[in-house]
Amino acid sequence: MNDLKGILTRINERGLKAGGAISSSVIDQLRKYRQKLSIFFGSVTALLLVALVCVCYYLMKHPEQISHAKAVASVIGVGTGGVVGILSRIWKEWSQTTLLLILIEGAPEAEVTALIEKLIKGL
């Protein structure tokens, strides 16, 4: 459980066992998760760009092989679509985490706990 819902579930369970006082723990874990998402997003984007550059270079070096060019172009098109889908999911998680950090930054403990419980049900 390394997604946002998993983090919130663990925080909620630990908060119930510890009797509250979870705000600082929530903020620290969400900041770390947001940083991981940022690094992952950048890595996937860089990998996509490198793959596209390599395919373009291959297609430019071997223009006489039309059958290879068509196959490579279709594979890279499907692959790029899949990677863009992954990037959109990463972006969604990142933006939800950032919004949650903004909402709980100065909120009282009771509001943080209620917000976490609602989010767990919604995610």
Tens digits of pLDDT across the chain (123 residues): 478 878 888 877 776 544 455 667 778 888 999 999 999 999 999 999 998 888 888 888 877 777 777 787 788 888 888 999 999 999 999 998 898 888 887 777 777 778 888 888 877
Structural domain span for residue 65: 4-122
Phi, psi of 23 (to 5 degrees): -60, -45
Q: What pLDDT is stored for residue 90 in this prediction?
A: 93
What whole-number distance in Å separates Cα of residue 103 and Cα of residue 14?
20
* 8 Å CB contact between 90 and 40: yes
CA angle (115 as vertex; 112, 116 as ends), nearest 5 = 85
Nearest to 73 by CA among 88, 60, 86: 60
What pLDDT sits at residue 47?
92
Q: Please state the domain count of the chain.
A: 1
Amino acid at 102: I
